[in-house]
Amino acid sequence: MLIWPGFELRVALRFLREGRMQTLLIIVGVAAGVAVIAYISALISGLQSNTLAKTLGAQAHITLRAPDDLVTPAALPVPDAAVLTETQPRAQRLRSVANWQALVPLLEALPDVAGVSPMVSGSGLALRGEASQAIALMGVDLDRYDRVVGLRSKVVSGSARLAPGEAIVGRELAQDLGVRVGDRLTVQTGSVSGTVSDSVRVTALVDLGVKDLNRRTVIVPLRAAQSLLALPGGASQLDLTLKDVWVAQTLARALQTQFPYKIESWQESNAQLVSALNAQSISTAIIRGVVLAVVVLGIASVLVVSVVQKGREIGILRAMGATRGQVLRVFLVQGAVVGALGSVLGLLLAVALIWVFTHFVRGSDGLPLFAIALPPATALQVALIASVCGVLAAVAPARRAAALDPAQAIRM
């Protein structure tokens, strides 16, 4: 009696060995498809992670500010009445988030929030000798701000400290002003009430990843910025960093329903970046689908040819007692074996391509463009999909083989 799965596996392997060239070509084809899918997935994932890291490296995931000043209408609108009016928007002044000291612990208690940092930010001038540069002045609590943007990891010179009378400046701004760590510069701000200035000593130079930010960033202690920007005891915004950046939009909408503040997620402030990332993901899915279709068609075409070539053998097996189900399973096993072997070889080839990219593709600074890796979960997913596609590709040829009449097949 012919017993499954030993019988089907032995016959399937024998058929594959007899058509060595066909088997080798289709396994190489499957391996190439799997390698392309795995490598493209790893490449796009690495590119997106690198883009997000550079974009979000100097900004919060969610920003909470005081609501905008609005013009109060002179009179309530009258129903069904035509009113000719022109309202000029109010100039926005620097305002503090109401009750921000009590709000910080509430936000920190949220499960998705990893850190909250109060900030006072505004414009000013950095002066040293005859040099003058427009700056974006930021007052922060260094420990809290470091949890939001990882400021200490961006230090290129000096040591990040923000004691009273100290400041951290961007690398390009330091070059423009001709200052180094330990030098002093004057920070000046102005308003309708007059001009305020303060002399600070530079403790560190930072690289925020964007030259424009490096050219205008000056970070001082929170209380110093409150004095310079005439916002005593206030915070113009609260920066939130999250454990998962992709929940920012959902959390921002939830917070908008709870608090009367202007709350904006990084997706809203970087809409073009989000669109580009979505386009990359869609393109990757299309490429994967097309490659899988090519793999399926390749396996199916080879197995169809195998059915024609092995018609006599199939007839003899049927005459010896093999059932239609056993013949069907012989070709399904062939598809599974081809898919599995091609998947293993393809993953090895993808790992080799990733190694080549990591070690030989360099940017203008001589460093790798970005790090890419093939996560085990992604590799297993790709291998399983390829193996399943191998079995599915064998369904049609297997049904054709099982439908052969033994007598006619032997006479072929």
Residue 103 or residue 25, greater confidence: 103
For 302, the token pair is 């080879």
Calpha distance 391→335 (Å, rounded): 5
Residue 362 carries which DSSP code? B
pLDDT band at 1 (very low <50, low <70, confident <90, very high): very low
Residue 87 has a pLDDT of 63
Residue 402 has a pLDDT of 64
How many Cα neighbours within 13 Å face the side chain of 364? 0
| Residue type at 203 in one-letter notation | T
Residue 365 has a pLDDT of 63
Residue tagged 């993901």 (tokens): 281
Residue tagged 């920007």 (tokens): 229
Instruction: Give the SS3 label for residue 302.
Output: helix
Q: Cβ(152)–Cβ(57) under 8 Å?
A: no
Secondary element (H or E) of residue 271: helix 271-309
Residue 220 carries which DSSP code? E
Q: Which of 147-156, 255-264, 302-311 has the lowest average pLDDT?
A: 302-311
Calpha distance 305→331 (Å, rounded): 12
Mean pLDDT confidence for 377-396: 83
Residue 137 has a pLDDT of 92
Whether cis (ω within 30° of 0) applies to the bond prior to 105 is no
> Residue 272's Cα: distance from chain center in Å?
14
Residue 405 or residue 30, greater confidence: 30
Calpha distance 361→373 (Å, rounded): 14
pLDDT at residue 78 greater than cutoff 80: no
Residue 4 has a pLDDT of 46
pLDDT tens digit sequence for 316-326: 666 666 676 77
pLDDT tens digit sequence for 113-126: 999 999 999 889 99
pLDDT band at 218 (very low <50, low <70, confident <90, very high): very high
Residues 337, 339, 344, 346: is their CA dihedral positive or negative? positive
Mean pLDDT confidence for 36-44: 88
Q: Measuring CA to CA, which residue among 173, 170, 105, 194 is closest to residue 144?
A: 105
- Report the C-alpha dihedral over residues 378, 380, 386, 387, rounded to 10 degrees: -170
Residue 77 has a pLDDT of 65
pLDDT at residue 289 greater than cutoff 70: yes
Residue 220 has a pLDDT of 93
Q: Measuring CA to CA, which residue among 260, 265, 270 is closest to residue 112?
A: 265
